[in-house]
Structure 1
Amino acid sequence: MTERRGIFHTLFILCQIHRKWYIIVLDHWMDYYGLYFSYNCI
């Protein structure tokens, strides 16, 4: 669970820096957590 949190935390940082790149990640990670962070990003 710690590893998952680390991954999502990293994606959240990348989201803040590279929002367009994060959208590409969502195409591959279309799940609840991905959508949750995408809304926080926007």
Structure 2
Amino acid sequence: MEKKVLNVVSKVAMGTAKKTANSACVFFGYQPKLPQSVNKLRKF
């Protein structure tokens, strides 16, 4: 059971990382730096 929960959490985290790598901040003037591993997930 624990392995299934951890698998779901890792899939959610990967999906969130992909979304944030391909989007920009909606606020003016502040967007935190992304780690290099997340920058590799960019589509463009």
- TM bucket (normalised to shorter chain) is 0.3 to 0.5
TM-score with structure 2 setting the length:
0.44
Write 1 or 2 for the structure with the bigger share of helix.
Answer: 1
Q: TM-score, normalised to structure 1's length? A: 0.45
Greater radius of gyration (CA): 2
